[in-house]
A and B are shown apart, each in its own frame.
Chain A
């Protein structure tokens, strides 16, 4: 008896208490040894990985320590001196470019919105051909899935650099890049959602003579739509963050302005823009999360 876990089995029937304790003692030692082996192996492997990574990335603790105060200086340089008795004038001076920045921020939001909706819509269509259970041929499932995975793995900034070559500077390259990346991410996600739906409504539509398109619109869509909408909002939150940085390479939005401010050492401008971005992102997160939970509650009731 006494089948102990982690593969250590002892096949002695203990008769007396002393024997039972002896069996326990042996098993306990075996456990301690096997634990020790596993733990030390794990620690050595982990330490080796850390050491290797530190070597490859030239991680230098001294440089980090000497650099930290400079980060502090940098961050404090982002907020200009604001005096209490002249606060309004100071703020106006700090936000001298407010009109321009607000306009760029608005463009950024619109890029994120368009990317989220266009990417999600296309992703939803592609996901039909990447799901195993919706009648798409096997080669299409494989091929579309790989394409979606590539679109999801390649960062939107890389797409943006390619599109810049074709369409020149400006938001077009950025919004296409964001849409393409969104398409990949949503398509892969939705393919998984599709594979988990209840197949009975679809069979019902087919059984009364509906076409494949009828199956999708009547059988599938009502099941997955709340989910899709919820994910669209979530994607919008992510895209707002992406759209703020896509301008780093010149593909539209506030990023271009932010990049210039930081690289040309206009720290107070950078601080002003970052604060605007921070507030916008916070507000959008809160609003979008509220809408998302509202939609999923709707789903729970119906």
Chain B
């Protein structure tokens, strides 16, 4: 079980996360919603320890993961597998090499440096790729694949890590609807078949309702909703995404803002800035 207790994180003077506490029992599919900049990404990165919290505690199965260092930290990162919006694959390497990166904890540093992996390791990676329908692409460069295919490779890498929990940071934000469905179905399959908890940041409320067991909502770094997915009705959604005047940072993102909160000043602002960049 993953347990967060009063986790906070500040970047300079802005508070990205404030006193976040919740538990995730094994096998749950948790969706995390909130505006861009609300702290969703920071939350997942903090759990994986890509970001160090300023205060609070994170523990898994009863032992804290905040003071881990060196190999122990690497082992924790492997068991809390991250999946990114931008896939974060090494694009010039083959699909197979990218998946094998997930076996970092079972291979020596020397072997990883020269890129030597045993037949068994390769076969395990191949079986995972086969599960995801990507085996034929094993020897192609990652950059030659479509976005949806790259994300499936990233999932194979995550599974190669033998994860105890999967942290997916907006995994479908840059995919077309069909690929998005394949990726989300894959995450649900993994969740159901292997009982691995999934924490998934999402921008789309419909997708959240379709796949989640439970919803966690962040607003300006604070936990504003933690409930079964059935509680995510329209009024709850409005509560998460509205109240722009309380949160000046809101002008940045408008996809879920009600139109009246999108100030004309901020939108022309971004437009002129874009034009300047183009010029």
A interface with B by C-beta (< 8 Å): 1-2, 4-6, 17, 20-21, 24-25, 27-29, 31, 301
Contacts and interface: CB of A to CB of B under 8 A. Distances in A.
Contact of B138 (A1, A17, A24, A29): A24
B130 A20 contact: yes
B106 interface: no
30 contacts: A1-B136, A2-B136, A4-B138, A4-B139, A5-B139, A5-B140, A6-B139, A17-B127, A17-B130, A20-B130, A20-B135, A21-B123, A21-B127, A21-B130, A24-B122, A24-B123, A24-B126, A24-B135, A25-B119, A25-B122, A25-B123, A27-B138, A27-B139, A28-B119, A28-B126, A28-B138, A28-B139, A29-B119, A31-B139, A301-B279
Contacts of A4: 138-140
Interface residues of B, number: 13
Contacts of A27: 138-139
B239 to A, nearest CB: 47
A227 B119 CA distance: 56
Interface of B is mostly: helix
A90 to B, nearest CB: 48
B130 A28 contact: no
A1 B139 CA distance: 13
Interface class of chain A by DSSP? helix
A17 B133 CA distance: 11
Interface centre among A1, A27, A301 (most CB of B within 10 A): A27
Nearest to B119: A25
Contacts of B223: none
Contacts of B126: 21, 24-25, 28
Contacts of A29: 119
Nearest to A28: B122
B200 interface: no
A281 to B, nearest CB: 34
A92 B139 CA distance: 69
Contacts of B96: 28
Given A5-B140, A27-B139, A31-B139, 20 more contacts: A1-B136, A2-B136, A4-B140, A5-B139, A6-B139, A17-B130, A20-B135, A21-B127, A21-B130, A21-B135, A24-B126, A24-B135, A24-B138, A25-B119, A25-B122, A25-B123, A27-B138, A28-B96, A28-B122, A28-B126
